[in-house]
A and B are shown apart, each in its own frame.
Chain A
Amino acid sequence: MSDQFLGGHMLDMFIFETTQLLEQLEACILDAEKEGVYTMDVINEIFRIMHTIKGSSAMMRFDEISSLAHSIEDLFYYLREENPGDVGYSELSDLVLAGVDFVKSQIEKIRSGFGVEGDASELISDNREFLARLKGQNTAKGKPGPAGGSKAAEKKDPYPKKIQPP
Chain B
Amino acid sequence: MKKVLIVDDAAFMRAMIKNLLEKNGFEVIGEA
**Chain B interface (Cβ within 8 Å of chain A)?**
9-13, 15-16, 19-20
Contacts and interface: CB of A to CB of B under 8 A. Distances in A.
Contacts, number: 29
B9 A52 contact: yes
Interface stretch (A9-17, A36-44, A86-94, A98-106): A9-17
A145 interface: no
B19 to A, nearest CB: 7
B20 A14 contact: no
B5 to A, nearest CB: 12
A113 B20 CA distance: 25
Given A17-B12, A48-B9, 7 more contacts: A1-B20, A9-B15, A18-B12, A52-B9, A52-B13, A56-B10, A56-B16
A59 interface: yes
Interface size class of A (residues with CB under 8 A): 10 to 19
A59 B21 CA distance: 15
Interface of A: 1, 5, 9-10, 13-14, 17-18, 48, 52, 55-56, 59
15 contacts: A1-B19, A9-B15, A10-B12, A10-B16, A13-B12, A17-B12, A18-B12, A48-B9, A52-B9, A52-B10, A52-B13, A56-B10, A56-B12, A59-B13, A59-B16
A13 B20 contact: no
Given A17-B10, A52-B9, A56-B10, A10 B20 contact: no
Contacts of B9: 48, 52
B13 A56 contact: yes
A4 to B, nearest CB: 12
Contacts of B11: 13, 17
A55 B13 contact: yes
Contacts of B20: 1
A7 to B, nearest CB: 14
